Amino acid sequence: MKTIWKLILGTILLISACKSKDGDYTLFSTSEDLALGEKVAGQIENDPINFPILSENDNKELYQHLNRISGKILQSSKILHREEFAWQLKVIDNDTLYNAFCTPGGYIYVYSGLIKFVQSEDELAGILAHEIAHGDLRHSTDQMTKTYGIKVLTNLILGGESELLTNMGINLLGLKFSRSDEEEADEFAVKYLSDTDYNPRSFAVFFERMEQAGGSMGPLQFLSTHPNPENRVQKIEAFWKEYGSKSGKDHSENFEKLQRSLK
């Protein structure tokens, strides 16, 4: 009996020691998130068949624009792990996919198809802010733990399970966030954008167009891997009002340059 109570007490202490900055409980530290994300990012970038990443050297102007946008977002005081995570951004060269994702530790990937789908820099900023929120709130680690289990992820962090790691980059696209995670990422995206010169309400406009497009444009994976919370557009607009109703500046000139730079 004493042994059982010791185990229970030990578990409680372990969980208490792993409370994250956003108030959730996790069995992984931020350094372990970063280590896992680095491994997965390495696998993604060594798989040009499934993930044809545009070279930064050959697309300097494109990456300058994207890093300028993400850099503004990452200056928000609401970012919890700004100094702890990598916050690297890469573009996957595939115009037929409309998606983006963030690995643990802040490695962000955006498909060229999604960049071409957006109609303003503010919409694109909303997508990047949303992915940053998933990484910052550590949603991806939570979903990967549910999918693969604590033991497997621990082995990956420690250097084992290389065969699984080989497939994990591809399988990331199949991981679905919960609707509560999505709503939280939407809210924090609005919080981040409210600290910038972007209009957070444009993120709601993006989802309106995405929903209207339905299946007419091909596979809109963003909506399958980022399932819609109930009344998503209305909730984003409510968050926008709650956090100041910022209107933002005109970024149309820079957005035109960004679109032209996407070869």
Rounded distance, CA 76 to CA 159, Å?
Answer: 34
Show Cβ contacts of residue 145 under 8 Å, excluding neighbours closer than 6 positions: 27, 28, 153
Per DSSP, 173 falls in state: G
Q: How many residues does the chain have?
A: 263
- Residue 108's H or E segment, with its range, is strand 107-111
Rounded distance, CA 239 to CA 125, Å?
Answer: 16
Give the CA radius of gyration of the chain: 19
| 256 catalytic per annotation | no
The single residue of 32, 123, 131, 161 carrying the catalytic annotation is 131
Rounded distance, CA 187 to CA 52, Å?
Answer: 31
Crossing angle between the packed helical segments 179-193 and 139-148, to the nearest 10 degrees: 160
Catalytic residues: 131
